[in-house]
């Protein structure tokens, strides 16, 4: 139980690290300095971990990991969505 609590706290802290980037994108409507390739790599890595987390939950453990991993996956997905929505406003994007 203690380790699940630590996973939840740590996972929420890690996931919340993406929130300032999201807020800055929303405020500036600019993704000029962001690398879509980098965010895709993070997204794919988290997606693989998501498959593992689902497997853990099926085995009866790992719900905290699934919750925090899903949150991270959604936030990175949101950043990727913003990159593709706002890249036309910045033609020099990759």
Closest CA to 85 of 22, 42, 41, 38: 22
| Beta carbons within 10 angstroms of residue 46's beta carbon | 20
Q: Mean pLDDT for each 10-residue chunk of the chain (94 residues)? A: 92 96 96 95 98 96 95 98 86 50
Q: What is the pLDDT of residue 72?
A: 97
Structural domain contains residue 79: yes
Q: What is the pLDDT of residue 90?
A: 54
CATH number, domain containing residue 10: 1.20.1280.290
Question: Is the pTM value of this prediction over 0.75?
Answer: yes
Structural domain contains residue 72: yes
Q: What is the pLDDT of residue 54?
A: 97
CA 64, CA 72: separation in Å to the nearest integer? 12
**Number of folded domains that form the chain:** 1
Domain that holds residue 11: 2-89
Closest CA to 39 of 87, 67, 80: 80
Structural domain contains residue 71: yes
Structural domain contains residue 94: no
């Amino acid at each position: 139980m203690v380790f699940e609590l630590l996973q939840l706290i740590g996972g929420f802290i890690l996931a919340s690290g993406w929130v300032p980037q999201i807020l800055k994108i929303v405020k500036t409507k600019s993704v000029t300095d962001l690398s879509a390739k980098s965010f895709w790599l993070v997204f794919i890595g988290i997606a693989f971990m998501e498959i593992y987390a689902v497997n853990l939950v099926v085995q009866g453990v790992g719900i905290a990991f699934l919750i925090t991993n899903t949150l991270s996956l959604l936030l990175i997905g949101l950043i990727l969505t913003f990159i593709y929505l706002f890249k036309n406003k910045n033609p020099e994007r990759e």
